[in-house]
Amino acid sequence: MTQPAEKDSKVPTALKTPGLIGANPIGADAVDAGAPSAAAARGASGAMVMSASHRGLEPLRIVMFSGNYNYVRDGANQALNRLVAYLEGQGAEVRIYSPTSSTPAFEPAGTLISVPSVSIPGRAEYRIARGLPASQRREIAAFKPHILHLAAPDPLGHSAKKLARALGIPVVASVHTRFETYLEYYGLGWVRPAGEAILRRFYTGLDEVFVTSEGFAEVLREQKLVDHAAVWSRGVDKLRFNPGRRSLEWRRAQGIADSDVVIGFVGRLVREKGLDIVAASVAELDRRGVPYKLLVVGDGPARAQFEAQAPGAIFTGFLDGDALPRAYASFEMLINPSTTETFGNINLEAMASGIPVVAAAASGNNCLVDDGVSGRLVEPGDIPAFADALELYLTNPEARAKAGAAGLARAQPYDWDEINGAVLARYREIIAAHAENAQAVLDAGQPLANAG
């Protein structure tokens, strides 16, 4: 871990040093139940108050809260882990509070601390965190974080938001999943208004809300879930995902002939990924007599049902390491009918692999796929339209190659370090604003609330 730098009396200079920031003086005495909330740590302006003795340079301390940091692999926690690894590479100290498992999907970046949780009925592989216990609230306060980052609107996130107010420190959130859309897939659509009300309450009053694209921010504004947002996009490792990974040998090992044209699907096999749309679309291709191979990469609780719906498909199970980019590059196209994503990571990986994408016209896809250029955007649930788009690329090699090349070019600017650097820059801006407001309170000679 980076050791604190030599003290300096000027807070703003800390912002010029990667991973360093003016220190936060708030301690554990403001965190127990019954302690004053913002008044204990803020001046009359509502800003965090920092005494002169605490305005030196030291490593930026960040605490994150996640509903699933590493016990089941998904695009959201891959992005969070990449961000944490980047932040630590810049000298920051990061702690993550999340439910954990005895069999995690991968090793976490940062310092992962387990929180009390229970399994979700009907989806035992997932866990939902309870609120933060008093011991962990005191632990966080003693760490003296400069900013809290909430990655899920669960009880843990709500508890952490309340804690940030008690400590008088900035708090931000990132939107990774359109949880409100999940309800439709499990016969609970009638609950959606109540779910959106909870989300609205969660995202209100935060210093920032990170979203994956400006288009998705507009969707959230239209739903009145957020009133301000900053874009935290996603990157792709282009050394890992690229057309050179294509392997005819690997295809043959899957029972695919060199002349076969392959539709690929990549993702966790759960209802909300649109598995029924995939199955119905290839069934329509069968009805039309269009030849194809469907290759499914992934696993999950809906696999048996999906196998029954798409009996001619080839299932590889979960792939990682070199096997995943090899699979992408060995497809001729990707189908992504999901409407629940905030950012289609699989779209970007497919584009970097040089193949066209056929996706639902939804927030997580519109920001990446240029309709008629790098692929096709289809009205969600429109089976004939999905089949039309797939048939185009199945039967027209020239159109397929042209769209693949356009997608490859479109993927090039998506660089993880640049994207995560923008998040760090926004953290610094927010912390600096709190510090400047607090200094203005002190300079004005206004009395400070007693934290005792």
Does residue 218 sit within a domain?
A: yes
Q: What is the pLDDT of residue 452?
A: 32
pLDDT band at 19, cuts 50/70/90? very low
Burial (CB < 10 A; 0-12, 13-18, 19+), residue 197, is: exposed
- Residue 245, pLDDT > 90, answer yes
Q: Do residues 131 and 278 both lie within one domain? A: no
Domain identity same for 281 and 360: yes
Count of CA atoms in the C-beta half-sphere (13 A) of 183: 12
Residues 406 and 430 in one domain: no
pLDDT of residue 192: 62
Query: Is 336 part of a structural domain of the chain?
Result: yes
Would residue 451 count as lying in a domain? no
Closest CA to 321 of 55, 59, 34, 106: 106
Do both 403 and 433 map to the same domain?
Answer: no
| Residue 291, domain member (yes or no) | yes
Helix 75-89 vs helix 345-352: angle between axes, to the nearest 10 degrees? Answer: 80
Integer angstrom CA distances of residue 436 from 25, 54, 141: 15, 14, 22
pLDDT score of 212 more than 80: yes
Instruction: Work out the average pLDDT over 310-316.
Output: 97
Q: Are residues 72 and 199 in the same domain?
A: yes
Which residues does residue 57 pair with via DSSP β-bridges, in sequence order?
22
Query: Distance (Å, rounded) from C-alpha 444 to C-alpha 189?
Result: 53
Residue 448 pLDDT > 80? no
Nearest to 449 by CA among 47, 1, 8, 130: 47
Report the alpha-carbon distance of residue 176 to residue 174 in Å, rounded. 6
pLDDT of residue 423: 96
Is 295 part of a structural domain of the chain?
A: yes
The more confidently predicted of residues 335 and 51 is 335
399 contact partners, CB below 8 Å, separation of at least 6: 392, 393
In this prediction, residue 128 carries a pLDDT of 84
Task: Answer whether residue 150 shows pLDDT above 90.
Answer: yes
Domain-embedded: residue 448: no
More confident residue, 11 or 140: 140
DSSP state of 156: H
The DSSP string of 343-388 is S-HHHHHHHHTT--EEEESSHHHHTT--BTTTEEEE-TT-HHHHHH
CB contact at 8 A, 180 and 192? yes
Q: How many angstroms separate the CA atoms of 106 and 233, rounded?
A: 23
Do 151 and 204 fall into the same domain?
yes
Same domain flag for 194 and 254: no
Q: Are residues 406 and 304 in the same domain?
A: yes
Residues forming a β-bridge with 111: 95
Q: Which residue has the higher pLDDT, 19 or 86?
A: 86
Q: Are residues 130 and 254 in the same domain?
A: no
Domain count of the fold of the chain: 2
**Joined tokens for residue 449:** 């609330």
Pairing of the two strands 293-297 and 375-378: unpaired
Cα separations in angstroms, 65 against 111, 157, 268, 415, 426: 12, 6, 23, 25, 18
Asked, for residue 6, whether it belongs to a domain, the answer is: no
Q: Indicate which CATH number applies to the domain containing 274.
A: 3.40.50.2000
Torsion sign over Cα 201, 204, 205, 209: positive
Residues 176 and 295 in one domain: no
Question: Average pLDDT, stretch 371-388?
Answer: 98
Domain containing 224 equals 12-235+417-443
Please indicate, yes or no, whether residues 226 and 261 belong to a single structural domain of this protein: no
37-41, 284-288, 389-393 — which is least confidently predicted?
A: 37-41
Q: Are residues 356 and 421 in the same domain?
A: no
Residue 5 forms part of a structural domain: no
**Pairing label, strands 57-59, 20-22:** antiparallel
CA torsion through residues 382, 386, 391, 397, sign = positive
